[in-house]
Amino acid sequence: MAAKRRIPARPKLAASKAAFSAAKRVIPGGVNSPVRAFGSVGGTPRFIDRAKGCRIWDIDGNEYIDYVGSWGPMILGHADPGILRAIRAAMAHGTSFGAPTELETRLAAAICRTLPSVQKVRMVSSGTEATMSAIRLARGVTGRARVLKFDGCYHGHSDGLLVGAGSGVATLGIPGSPGVPPAMTELTVQAPYNDLAAVADAFTRWPDEIACVIVEPVAGNMGCVGPQPGFLSGLRELCDQHAALLIFDEVMTGFRVARGGAQLLYNVRPDLTCLGKVVGGGMPAAAYGGRNDLMRRVAPVGDVYQAGTLSGNPLAMAAGLATLERLEEPGVYEQLGARSAALANGLRVLAREVGVELTTTSIGGMFGFYFHPGPVTNFEEAKKNNEARFRRFFSCMLEGGIYLAPSPYEAAFVSLRHRPGDVDRTLEVARGALRRVARVR
């Protein structure tokens, strides 16, 4: 077991507080993505100075074991030497060209080799771009307008998808967003996650109008909710019956829950796949892809337009390629799964010891937990989470040097740099945190 590290029970926060005050003067809310503001958990967001392996350090010098991992991409750990070498090598030739590079082709080929459903892939710069573009392609191919999504699944912040989006909007307590006209969402059909009957009903109501069904195959924006047996295969069948396309949003799960993503793990082949996070190795990169006959419709070959000035950025392509090559090594996903399961199971045992209702889950390299007895199969059940208990738990873990997502609706992530000693240390802090949580009703 790794030696225990001395982490202050009451971290010094003067520098982060000053930095947050300065940021709020020039940035809305002081952050560039809303959940980072700690609005649902209280306290001061930590301004990060550096990271290495599974640890991060804030500008006050406090050290944390990190289970956010830049919200999923850092599957190899922070500042991985191989990724840094790849970025430096690419950077020596220039940072952006706005013209093709061989790195784009190599990363695209690696994706196509790994995901059987993807024969061609288009690089973009964010998960929002990937899902927005895949939906445009689905509408162009089918000639239909409606899109079916699931409550609590987040597919980026494009107008038509900011409804029932879980995660950030749920954390902030808002249903969608002002600035999105009703006309932009009236073509979005909602259904509860894991509810095939609701999807069938939607197809019955709009038999020739639904262009696609888009789904997180493992929902990571309402915690960590897996598909019930038959759910994903049922979606495949319904889409086939009604000539609609099935889109897997694997921005979070791609190369995270298995080397071939959730589609390999659950043996269901979508028509289109959206990727991000891990595929960029921590750099801003994402992609969408699918069968040849569908991707032939994308400009410049086809008539469905999509473009991006910085798409295929050479630094991001180098980082992504280095990541995917490393993930080909044997035993990688067994290690990730073992760490996630140890954390989920350990939390559940500790909670039972102190009489706290806690439901946990782990799938591949991600895990989640809810302060209620469960089960959790959809967003309505996820929202039963005792948020007061989550806030107490989050604060206690943070004070003890464990960095979790500042939201009850986010999955947690492990990396290849999390060791058994890190898991032990996390559970040691969690034991005390859960004792304090037991006093909250």
Q: Please say whether the dihedral angle defined by the alpha carbons of residues 425, 428, 434 and 439, taken in this order, is positive or negative.
A: negative
CA angle at 78 for the pair 76 and 79, rounded to the nearest 5°: 105
3-state secondary structure the chain: CCCCCCCCCCCCCHHHHHHHHHHHCCCHHHCCCHHHHCCCCCCCCCCEEEEEECEEEECCCCEEEECCHHHCCCCCCECCHHHHHHHHHHHCCCCCCCCCCHHHHHHHHHHHHHCCCCCEEEEECCHHHHHHHHHHHHHHHHCCCEEEEECCCCCCCCHHHCCCCCHHHHHHCCCCCCCCCHHHHCCEEEECCCCHHHHHHHHHHCCCCEEEEEECCCECCCCCECCCCCHHHHHHHHHHHCCCEEEEEECCCECCCECCHHHHHCCCCCCEEEECHHHHCCCCCEEEEECHHHHCCECCCCCECCCCCCCCCHHHHHHHHHHHHHCCCCCHHHHHHHHHHHHHHHHHHHHHHHCCCCEEEEECCEEEEECCCCCCCCHHHHCCCCHHHHHHHHHHHHHCCEECCCCCCCCEECCCCCCHHHHHHHHHHHHHHHHHHCCCC
Nearest-CA neighbor of 399 among 65, 19, 69? 65
How far is 294 from 271, CA to CA, in rounded Å?
Answer: 8
Query: Between the CA of residue 18 and those of 26, 334, 398, what are the distances in Å?
Result: 13, 42, 19
How far is 428 from 437, CA to CA, in rounded Å?
Answer: 15
How far is 182 from 197, CA to CA, in rounded Å?
Answer: 26
- Which residues are known to be catalytic? 154, 249, 277
> Token pair of 65, please?
């074991």
